[in-house]
Amino acid sequence: MDLAFTPEEQKFRADIRAWVRENLPADISHKVHNALRLSRDDMQRWGKILGKKGWLGHAWPKAFGGPGWSAVEKHLFEEECALAGAPRVVPFGPVMVAPVIMAFGNAQQQQRFLPGIASGEVWWSQGYSEPGSGSDLASVKTKAERQGNKYVVNGQKAWTTLGQYGEWIFCLVRTSNEGKPQTGISFLLIDMKSPGVTVRPVVLLDGEAEVNEVFFDNVEVPLENLIGEENKGWTYAKHLLSHERTNIADVNRAKRELERLKRIAKAEGVYSDTRFRDEIAKLEVDVVALEMLVLRVLSAEKSGKQSLDIAGLLKIRGSEIQQRYSELMMLAAGPYALPLIYEAMEAGWQGDAIGAAYCAPLASTYFNLRKTTIYGGSNEVQRNIVSQVVLG
């Protein structure tokens, strides 16, 4: 395993760093570094900047309009963006559904959908989970009945992240009840402006509507929006989930948030406490270990060796690290981390604050990140998968 970057890779990093420094809007970077609320405009503005450069689909091959970077170059790009304070790319289009369209969609579907994803113009949502189908995704009940040259879709999706902004949604739907549950699932692309689609935001403790319920009431979907073959959607779903779970790990954001934790601890006077600094050190060791695991995968891919199928393992460790750094920030700020003043999470807010400005989003972030060990496949289920697939 060679973890040293070549001179060419170091130059690539420097070029990326310079470009991001020049093109990342300062107001967006300020919000990210201080965990302030990002609007739809903030997220899509950065996505369109990347799209104009051809980098929103930075992991795409050249054949589909991507830069064709190596695994190491993709990692360096993501790291420089995170450390500079760039928002995470909204993954549902470029990271999740695009690889499925590339791998299993036909040429017409690729020509129709990929350009809007690459440019950042079209906002995609994910329609996987349902009220009774979370980690047991094979039990989805949303039904798509074929009628002539269309499907008629009825059912409900739950926990649809940022679904209130969605223009298109990729859905797992049941097209057959015969055989094993996995064999009757299909992968549909649905226009969210279609008659019968209703989005109902779920307001969380912090006042945000990050997740949504999506209802389908006799929604008509053209046959040409079916990806691949009917009843083969489970295969395509697994392909997508490997991208989602790796994305959840997000070691580069963890490195940035570790530095933020240190700043908060120093400002609150607890960094000099040996016991507290021990906790930061243990977290830092875990972050470095996660990064080494990521680099190990990249090293194997770079050398042409078979890379480990460890998307689940990356998801487990990455999600636990996110929960731990948010908890330590809360502990560092003490009672000042508890009050929730909704407006205080807006950039430029001038009202009365309780504690320092950086305390305002701490409780919200802590509670929000409790979800990370559940979504994308709960960690308990992921441990079973790792024990079977990786350990044997």
Q: What is the pLDDT of residues 111-129, one digit of tens each?
A: 999 999 999 999 999 999 9
pLDDT tens by residue, 286-307:
999 999 888 877 766 666 555 5
Task: Give residue-wise pLDDT tens across range 148-171.
Answer: 999 999 999 999 999 999 999 999
Q: Tell me the helix, strand and coil percentages in the chain, rounded to 5.
A: 55, 15, 30
- CB contact at 8 A, 231 and 172: no
Residue 23 has pLDDT above 60, yes or no: yes
What is the residue-averaged pLDDT of the chain?
91
Taking CA atoms, 288 is separated from 188, 251, 279, in Å, by 39, 9, 14
- Grade residue 137 by pLDDT with cuts at 50, 70 and 90: confident
Q: Cα torsion at 248, 250, 256, 260 (round to 10°)?
A: 20
Give DSSP secondary structure letters for 230-261.
TT-HHHHHHHHHHHHHHHHH-HHHHHHHHHHH
CA-angle at 87, arms to 156 and 333, nearest 5°: 95
CB 295 within 8 A of CB 314: no
- pLDDT grade, residue 308 (50/70/90)? low
pTM for the predicted model, two decimal places: 0.90
Pairing of strands 168-174, 124-127: parallel
